[in-house]
Structures are given as structure tokens and as C-alpha cells.
Structure 1
Amino acid sequence: MTDDLLRRLSRLEALEAIRDLDARYCRALDDGDWDALVSLFTEDGQFVGLSRATGPAELRAFFTGLADSGLTAFWHHVTNLEITLDGEETARARSFLWQPCVQDGVAHIAAGRYVDSLRRVDGSWRYARKQVSFDYFVPLTEGWDHGRFTVASAAATYPGRPFA
């Protein structure tokens, strides 16, 4: 194989490994598999969002404590992953989050964005920093749009295809 082909193959493998890391993060978080979740971060890895936690002990305490704050169920859906490889050992990623959840027994809907810094450790990609910011986090009965969007206004953007 040529050097160029090896470089391209290595790049594709890194991109796929980072996509897989995000999928494993969502599954471990939603399943409450704290050992698996914490293992996805570097030893000095940090989560920033609802709180700030650094290192395995703080990460475990934060994630296991979510239920204490009333957040008893969630389903993380991450999409539109944009990955920038900064070299062979570091990368950055951005993605969108859509998250139905239950807080204090009430169904909620949340959406936001993740911004990640990643490092390759012993051949595996890990989060050095995972940051979430929310665009909305509201009870499902209130809706996320606060009256800005309706089926009628959405249908109006598609002339000739009216919604029943």
C-alpha cells in the first residue's frame, strides 16, 4: 500500500472509532452502565454541562447522582457528528443532542449540542472534555417551541403538499 492510502485508511478508522465512541457513550449513559461510561474518558477527562466533573471519581459521582436530582430516565439521540482530526492523537467533535427524559415523574424533552475534545490513549479514542449545552429542556406538555411553530405553519412551507 502507498503512504497516501495508509494515511487515508488511518483517517477513516479514526473517524469511525470516534463515531463509535459517541454511540457507546449514549448507550452507557442511558443504560446506567457507569463503569463503561467512565471508561470512555481520559484519566483527567472532564464533563461540562449540568455540572463540572473531572476524573473518574467525580465523573462517576456526577452521573450516578443524576437520579438524585430527579432525572430518572433518558434516551440520548446524537446526530450530525462533525469530526476534525487535529493529528494522530487529538480530535474535536460537534454534534446535536435530542433527549426525551423523565424528571420528577414528568416527561420532558431536551435538545442541545455537544462539543468534544478527544485524545487517543493506548490506541483508543477517549473524551478529554465533553461539553453539553441545552437549547431547551422543558416538560413535554409545554412543548419546545413556545408557540412559534405549528403544523399549519410547517405545512405552509411545503406548497402543494398540505397536511391533513
Structure 2
Amino acid sequence: MNDDVLRRVARLEALEAIRDLDARYCRALDDGDWDALVSLFAEDGEFVGLSRATGHAELRTFFAGLADAGLTAFWHHVTNLEITLDGEDTARARSFLWQPCVQDGVPHIAAGRYTDSLRRVDGDWRYVTKQVSFDYFVPLTEGWDHGRFTVASAAATYPGRPFA
């Protein structure tokens, strides 16, 4: 096989591995499998949005604490994943998020975007930064169109978790 074909196959394998990483992230988050979720981040990885958590210990505490902040159920639907390979072991990705959820016992609907930076660690892709920003987060009964909000109002939906 020539070098060009090998490069193209390696590129396709990297893209598919990153798509799989996103699918595993959604499944682990929705299932509350905090150990599996945290393992998808580099040791120094961070989650940004609603709060900032850096490193495996902080990430586990943050994600496991979502229910204490009133967010007791969620279903992450991620789509339109755009991946840019910056090198053999680094990449960036953007995607759209649609998320039905339950906040303080009330069904909500949320939508936003993920912006990620990734690196290959011991052959596997891991998040260096996974950042979420919301376009809206509203009770289902109110509809989504007037649910747009600012960072302050988004952070207010998570009592005790200041936006950093």
C-alpha cells in the first residue's frame, strides 16, 4: 500500500474514533457512569460550561453533583459533528446538542453547542477541553423560542454551581 493510502486510512480511523468518543460521552453521561465518563478525558482534561472542572477528580465530582443541583435526568443528542485534525495526535471538534432533561422535577428542553479540543493519549482520543454553551434551556410547557438566555441566567439553573 502506498503512503497516501496509509495516510488517508489513518485519517478516517481518527475521525471515526473521535465520533465514537462523542457517542460514549453521551451514553456515559446519560447513564450516570461517572468512571467511564471521566476516562474519556485526558488526565488534565477539563469541562467548561455551567462550571469549570479540571482533572479526573474534579470532573467526577462535578458530573456526579449534577443531581444535587436539581438536574436529575437528561438525554444528550449530539449531531453535526465537525472534526478538524490538527496533527497526528491533536484535533478540534464542534457539534450541536439537543437535550431533553428534568430540572427540579420539571421537564425542560435545551439546545446548544459543544466545542472540543482533543489529543491522542496512549493511542486513544481523549478530551482536553469539552466546552458546552447553551442557546436555550426552558421548561417544555413554555416552548423553546423565548427561552434564550445569558450566561448568568444559564448558571442560575444550577444552584450552588457558579459559572467559572
Structure 1 residues 145, 126: closer, same or farther in 2, change over 3 A? same
1:28 paired residue number: 28
Cα deviation, residue 147, structure 1: 9.8
Structure 1 residues 6, 111: closer, same or farther in 2, change over 3 A? same
SS of match in other structure, 1:62: helix
Count how many residue pairs are aligned between Structure 1 and Structure 2.
164
Write the deviation string for residues 41-100 of structure 1: whole angstroms up to 9, x where unpaired. 000000000100000000000000000000000000000000000000000000000000
Structure 1 residues 159, 67: closer, same or farther in 2, change over 3 A? closer
Within 2, Cα distance between the matches of 1:163 and 1:69?
13
Cα deviation, residue 156, structure 1: 37
Write the deviation string for residues 104-127 of structure 1: whole angstroms up to 9, x where unpaired. 000000000000000000000000
Structure 1 residues 140, 122: closer, same or farther in 2, change over 3 A? same
Structure 1 residues 14, 146: closer, same or farther in 2, change over 3 A? same
Within 2, Cα distance between the matches of 1:105 and 1:4?
55
Percent identity over the alignment is 90
Cα deviation, residue 153, structure 1: 29
The answer on whether the counterparts of 2:50 and 2:154 sit within 8 Å (CA) in structure 1 is no
Q: Which moved more, 1:48-57 or 1:145-154?
A: 145-154
1:152 paired residue number: 152
Structure 1 residues 2, 60: closer, same or farther in 2, change over 3 A? same
Write the deviation string for residues 129-153 of structure 1: whole angstroms up to 9, x where unpaired. 0000000000001110139999999
2:6 paired residue number: 6
Moved over 2 A (4+): 146-164
Cα deviation, residue 159, structure 1: 46
CA RMSD in angstroms comes to 10.5
Q: Which has the larger radius of gyration?
A: 1
Structure 1 residues 44, 5: closer, same or farther in 2, change over 3 A? same
Structure 1 residues 119, 138: closer, same or farther in 2, change over 3 A? same
The answer on whether the counterparts of 2:119 and 2:125 sit within 8 Å (CA) in structure 1 is yes
Structure 1 residues 53, 160: closer, same or farther in 2, change over 3 A? closer
What runs of 5+ residues in structure 2 fail to find an aligned partner? none
The answer on whether the counterparts of 2:42 and 2:121 sit within 8 Å (CA) in structure 1 is yes
> TM-score scaled by structure 1?
0.89
SS of match in other structure, 2:132: strand
SS of match in other structure, 1:48: strand
Within 1, Cα distance between the matches of 2:62 and 2:156?
44
Structure 1 residues 128, 163: closer, same or farther in 2, change over 3 A? closer
